[in-house]
Each structure stands twice: as structure tokens, then as C-alpha cells.
Amino acid sequence: MKKEFIGIWLKSGIIRNRQRDTEKIKSMINSAQVNAKVAKGINLNDDSATLIFREIYESVRQLGDAKWWLLGYEPSNHEISIEALKDLDIKDKLKLNSLDRFKKIRHDANYRGLRATIQQAEEMLDFWSRCGEEIVKELNKEIP
């Protein structure tokens, strides 16, 4: 995370200084994993696609929150939570470029009444299987 951006985000209130809370970080990571596991277990069809997409997205967002807490900050919105994940050095780093599009799909589902498609839910599930657990491992390495 670039320091000049952190300064700007602090001044604008997008993030706040927080003391590192190891137990909270562990809980956030665990919650993300459990929610993703449950969502993956739901039969995917037209009716469940939006639910699966949103729950996996929420798990990814929680991992972004955990990253910020590891850095000593608390994020105030989804955009900044997702931003924290983009710098991670994971094997399938190109997949991180999908995060902004996922955020838009989730926003449209939550606030515009649009439904995620089966294909979008499959893509979110694929993202979790390719990147989610690796992100979890990277975050766990950073926990003191």
C-alpha cells in the first residue's frame, strides 16, 4: 500500500488508525472462510446465484478488512477494503483485477435490484477457489 495514499485516505476518513487486534483479525478471516464454505455448498441455480455471489464477495471483502487491520487501520467502505487486496502477491494475481467488477455486480444486486447470473456466481466461486484461500494464507503469515 502506497504511503501517500494512506495519508490521503486518513485525512478524508476513508480509513482510521486502529490498534492491531489479533483476535479480531483472526475472527474476520475465520468468518470469511466459514461463509465462503457455506456459500459453496449451496446448489447453484438462477434463484441462488445472487445469494452465492454476494456471500462470496462478502467473504473477499472481509479479507480486505482483515488486511487493513493488520496494517493498523480500519476501513470505512467496501471500495477501500477491496483496494487492500490488489497489492497482494499471489500466484493468480491477474484475478485481482476482477475485484472492481465484482464490487459493481454486488452493488447492482444490493441497491438496484439486479440479479447475479449463474455465470457471475461461478466466476465468484472460481475466484474464491483460485485466490481466496491463498489470500487467507498470506494474511495468516502476517498475524503476529
Say if residue 129's pLDDT is above 80.
Answer: yes
The answer to whether 59 and 132 are in contact (CB under 8 A) is yes
Could you tell me the pLDDT band of residue 110, with boundaries at 50, 70 and 90?
very high
What value does the mean pLDDT of the chain take? 94
Of all residues in the chain, what percent carry a pLDDT higher than 90? 87
Cβ burial of 83 (10 Å; 0-12, 13-18, 19+) is buried
Q: Which domains does the chain have, with CATH numbers?
A: 3-142 (1.20.120.330)
Q: What is the pTM of this model?
A: 0.93
Instruction: Tell me the mean pLDDT in the region 128-143.
Output: 95
pLDDT digit string, tens, across residues 76-106? 998 899 999 998 989 988 899 999 999 999 9
Alpha carbons within 13 A on the beta-carbon side of 69 = 20
